Amino acid sequence: MSADGAAAHVLILGGTTEARRLAEALAGDPSYRVTTSLAGRVTSPVLPPGGTRIGGFGGPEGLADWIASHGVTHLVDATHPFAERMSFNAAGAAALTGVPLLALRRPGWTPGPGDGWTFVDRLEEAADRLPGLGSRAFLTTGRMGLHTFAHLTGTWFLVRSVDPPAPPVPPRLDVLLDRGPFTLDGERELLARHRIDVLVTKDSGGSATAPKLTAAREAGLPVLVVRRPAVPEGVPETGSVEAVRDWLGASR
Ligand code: NAP
């Protein structure tokens, strides 16, 4: 509660486990009114506690309008590390409105002993390198970029996504509809059952989808890792929900 007794209105730009954990952590605290915003990409999203709204705002200006008209006092960018546009929109809207912004972003993964990772900057580069590394690929980069691999006729793909992909897609593929967290035993079994010989992933970070990397290391498989896109300069960042709570408490 602020000095005037009004609850702070925290807008969480979500679509991630971290965003949901933050909404859960603030739920029930009368000092905060929380709204989580989702892009609307997933057909049946797991909704967090508190208020939710779904769909784009219309660029940084649209987000700034929403912030002003809904009395938002704090903005938390808890979008996925690969949701590049939205992070820049958040920075733009914060500049337009003067509302404080903090990014909640999980740290990236780092290879350890025994890992055979090749880093690339973009999905297109992953598609270029893939045929040289294997012929049965486990593709975990999400259904949205699948068209980037559609020309690879010599590669068989196992694609895992929350919702079914739309064409164009590679001609030889199986789709596995599933949502993390995933277990190490499950990932080991999946790699063996489908005779996977290469893994493709984004550097999403976090524990929910990390077991595939351990399973790939154990099986001696090469891994193509897409590096994270740039983030807007000057936006403070943390990897911890607790640190966001501290920031909210300190900036009231
Ligand atoms: P993006 O390229 O950064 O955003 C594209 C547009 O989608 C934005 O300009 C915005 O539209 C709208 N948008 C994105 N996130 C939004 C949110 N939380 N609330 C309202 N509108 C949002 O994002 P993306 O990569 O398509 O990802 C979309 C969502 O999926 C994000 O919320 C992200 O956290 C989640 N997600 C993404 C990935 C990934 O690999 N990219 C993985 C897991 C989850 P307007 O400009 O009209 O406001």
Site to substitute for ligand 1 among 79, 84, 106, 226, most atoms within 8 A of C-beta: 79
Q: For position 183, what pLDDT does the model report?
A: 98
Q: Residues spanned by CATH 3.40.50.20 within the chain?
A: 116-226
pLDDT tens for residues 75-113?
999 999 999 999 999 999 999 999 999 999 999 999 999
User: What's the DSSP call for residue 146?
Assistant: G
Q: For position 2, what pLDDT does the model report?
A: 56
Q: What's the start-to-end Cα distance of the chain, in Å?
A: 8
The finding on whether 82 has its CB within 6 A of some atom of ligand 1 is: yes
What is the token pair recorded at 78?
């808890």
d(CA 76, CA 87): 10
Contact by Cβ (8 Å): 143, 166: yes
Report the CATH fold assignment for 116-226.
Rossmann fold (3.40.50)
d(CA 148, CA 159): 13
Closest CA to 222 of 118, 152, 110: 118
The finding on whether 84 has its CB within 6 A of some atom of ligand 1 is: yes
CA atoms within 13 A on the CB side of 234: 7
Q: 159-164 long-range contacts, Cβ below 8 Å, gap at least 24? A: 162/42, 162/43, 163/41, 163/42, 163/43
The finding on whether 40 has its CB within 6 A of some atom of ligand 1 is: no
Report the CATH fold assignment for 8-107+231-251.
Rossmann fold (3.40.50)
Q: For position 6, what pLDDT does the model report?
A: 77
CA atoms within 13 A on the CB side of 26: 32
Torsional sign, CA 69, 55, 182, 121: negative
Q: 171-180 long-range contacts, Cβ below 8 Å, gap at least 24? A: 179/46, 180/17, 180/208, 180/209
Return the ligand 1 atom nearest residue 88 CA.
Answer: 3
Q: Residues spanned by CATH 3.40.50.720 within the chain?
A: 8-107+231-251
Q: For position 3, what pLDDT does the model report?
A: 54
Q: For position 58, what pLDDT does the model report?
A: 98
d(CA 244, CA 152): 43
User: What's the DSSP call for residue 108?
Assistant: P
Return the ligand 1 atom nearest residue 14 CA.
Answer: 18
Low-confidence ranges of the chain (pLDDT < 50): none
Q: Which residues contact 44 (CB under 8 A, 6 or more apart)?
A: none
- Tell the residue nearest (CA) to atom 34 of ligand 1: 79
